[in-house]
Structure 1
Amino acid sequence: MAESQTARPSGAVETEEVFQTLSNQRRRFVVHALEQDGSMEIGDMARRIAGWEYQKDPEAVSSAERRRVYNSLQQVHLPKMDENGLVDYDSRSGLVSATGDLADLRLYLEVVPGNDIPWSTYYLLLGAFGALFATATLLNVFGFGAVPDAVGALTTGVLLVASAAVHTYVTRTRELGVEGPPPEVDEG
């Protein structure tokens, strides 16, 4: 742990600090790496992050690329994350470890690409569709009264279960800390 850090109870990370941390791609990459491994030596972390940034195998990263990442991690990002209680960074040994508060950052993340809608909006629309379908069936609008109640209920249930399955899959593939590179790294 850095010498200047004052002890703070677990769970005391402020929302502003979380958003400040997550606003920087390199710090998001630190979160991703530590969610995968728990703790790492800063040199190994710099090589892995440089690989993600330069979109190449970590072993193919040049010493200059690795050094640029290493220097910014050592001088800026890790001390800041240590100060905020998200990592334990021992500058003498070069060891970086995740804290319990680091896992809490997942609550703040929902990676929504530019052409997608947030899942909360999707479920709102799905609920509205279900309500309109039920209302049309009850009021016999456009011949929906002929639809048996069981078919309407089954259709709504299947749509909800299918949506939840897709949501679960998409969320897991966009989550920090899952195997492979961070979700924002384009592997194409």
Structure 2
Amino acid sequence: MAEILLFHHAHGLTEGLCALAERLRAEGHTVHTPDTYAGLTFTSLDDGVAHAESIGRDAVAHVAMRAARKHPDADVTIGFSLGSMQAQVLAQHRRGMRGCVLIGGAIPPEHLGGPWPAHLPVQVHVADPDDWCTSDEVEALRRSAPHAEVFTYAGREHMFVDPSLPDYDADAADAFEERVTGWLALVDAGEAVPRRV
């Protein structure tokens, strides 16, 4: 089974994300939930973004690095929006990774120091449209990782996966979770590895 580092969005480590982590644990995975905000959560996205900006991008990245050191056997990253940067930087630069899931966020890999690892499977889930994760950003990742699985959720809001938030959409969240759990099963079976072309 996977050992997962799950990084929260700008609202913080909400009850909705904690519940998702518990469901993944029930599937047999080990899930760690590093808390960039040290227990704070924000109902308002603007307040959450302001808090993240007060911490600073480098400090947010350092949380991911500390989590990787604390959990050296973690081999899958999952990142929600703000946390997608944390998930992606570890996926691109840490040895032993088996996969990465990005929700509501994608960064051109060269902005994080190099191309996407050719061997590493990645899923991207994004609302359509999404002001916080543009199609150009997703396509930049796809150019570096042409094997990426990209799922768009038409007419949904940015954080449609989290029942703690007003953006939540139950049908889209269920589809997202089914896709992620199915993909994790493929990772476990060694069948999610990108095929050479």
Task: Please give the range of the TM-score, normalised by the shorter of the 2 chains.
Answer: under 0.3
More strand by share: 2
Which of these two proteins has the greater Rg computed from alpha carbons?
Answer: 1
Greater share of helix? 1
Q: TM-score, normalised by structure 2?
A: 0.21
Structure number with greater CO (CA < 8 Å, separation at least 6) is 1
Normalising to structure 1: TM-score of the pair? Answer: 0.21
